[in-house]
Structure 1
């Protein structure tokens, strides 16, 4: 059979044969098989051309996807599936990209973790979840996280939390808030506890007293409508304790207040 036309169509080329067969191929395919108009090809050659054209198209799609940013194997695989590339071709493309160092899940995990350590605020548990969602194996994630020191980052996040909440919460509530916030960001309790202990907290006793009385006013307005005497005192004590105030401070304030 003879090639009767090779015509460029956006990213691909249309190849037509004299038996009316038409297929789309890549420029790489033309170069590899030195295809040209009027060239005679055998059936076996045509099959090889078709297979390589599919592989080349899949590889070009993957490289285009990778040109914007680093991606994981699963992300590239999902992209190729979405573009209708056959599974057997996808496996070949992935293998080639890995061999040429275009795809490296371990390197991706390293970069992801380092970027967070430099400019992020997430702990290892959140990073583990995010990397797992991107298809990176748990073994690779665990190894890379174990080789990373989160001490400096945990301290930095704890400092930001302290600036945010200092002066707005009683001492106990402040500690609980910072610890819980760090845990919510993916740090372990031991990491959060160590970071809290590294903080230099200058407690303003007068400010703490103002916070207590302000909260006491609020709770008194709420409960004095329904309770009085001993019941009111118990309700106020419980409410203030839940807010993180110390029982001795509460008792002292109530003696002056009631």
Structure 2
């Protein structure tokens, strides 16, 4: 089969349309034009055509992955899931793209875990909630303890929360339970919550907390 026409797509930047003399239309990227030395009149064997299509598909998936990563950071699992769900990639294709991006330093679960912990700890989340976010976003468990070990002492964050939610001395057990439950939902350990309540109101008895 012979290439009868090469033209740039009017709808997608960087896409090249390859018209073959048998009526087929191939959609490839600019890099494939160079890599395969394509020109009008060039004869392609069936094997060369398949290789061209596979290379174009791989490039397209890499471009899609880079587009996803420039929107916001992602874990490896999040990226591969999105490629399968939104770009019709196979599991093998998605994993291969992720491997390549990791080699280039553009995808790093350890760095992503650090970013995630910084973001959510700044929002007032405690260790339990942070672990849940790491799990939910597919960060490998091997990184959890490493990044959580760098967390600041939670005392200041809990104290700030109590000052914002309470005004003066605690006199109502329902109010005490409300703020305690809220801190627990944010992922703080009960020992840290209890200690903070005593700092806030030293008159609280053990059985009141």
Once the two structures are superposed, the pairs formed by residues 165-180 of structure 1 within 5 Å of their partners are 165-167=166-168, 169-170=170-171, 175-180=176-181
The answer to whether structure 1 residue 149 and structure 2 residue 148 are counterparts is no
Q: CA deviation at 1:176?
A: 4.2
Q: Which residue does the alignment assign to 2:37?
A: 34
The answer to whether structure 1 residue 7 and structure 2 residue 11 are counterparts is no
Taking the aligned partners of 2:50 and 2:189, their CA distance within structure 1 comes to 57
Q: Is the 1:162–1:178 contact (alpha carbons within 8 Å) kept by the matching residues of 2?
A: no
Taking the aligned partners of 1:31 and 1:157, their CA distance within structure 2 comes to 59
Which residue among 84, 88, 91 is the counterpart of 2:88?
A: 84
Q: Which residue does the alignment assign to 1:127?
A: 130
> TM-score by structure 1 length?
0.69
Specify which structure has the higher proportion of helix: 1
Taking the aligned partners of 1:191 and 1:94, their CA distance within structure 2 comes to 39
Q: Identify which of structures 1 and 2 has the higher relative contact order when contacts are C-alpha pairs closer than 8 Å and 6+ apart.
A: 2
Q: Is the 2:162–2:200 contact (alpha carbons within 8 Å) kept by the matching residues of 1?
A: no
Q: Which residue does the alignment assign to 2:196?
A: 195
Q: Which residue does the alignment assign to 1:18?
A: 21
Aligned pair count reads: 200
> 3-state DSSP class of the match of 1:62?
helix
Q: Is the 2:75–2:137 contact (alpha carbons within 8 Å) kept by the matching residues of 1?
A: yes
Taking the aligned partners of 1:180 and 1:172, their CA distance within structure 2 comes to 12
The answer to whether structure 1 residue 99 and structure 2 residue 74 are counterparts is no
Which residue among 137, 141, 146 is the counterpart of 1:138?
A: 141
Taking the aligned partners of 2:131 and 2:80, their CA distance within structure 1 comes to 21
Q: Aligned-pair RMSD on alpha carbons?
A: 2.4
| Residue-by-residue CA offset, 1:226-245 (whole Å, 9 max, x unaligned) | xxxxxxxxxxxxxxxxxx7x
Which entry has the higher C-alpha Rg, 1 or 2?
1
Q: Is the 1:4–1:17 contact (alpha carbons within 8 Å) kept by the matching residues of 2?
A: yes
Q: CA deviation at 1:110?
A: 0.8
> TM-score by structure 2 length?
0.83
Q: Is the 1:72–1:103 contact (alpha carbons within 8 Å) kept by the matching residues of 2?
A: yes
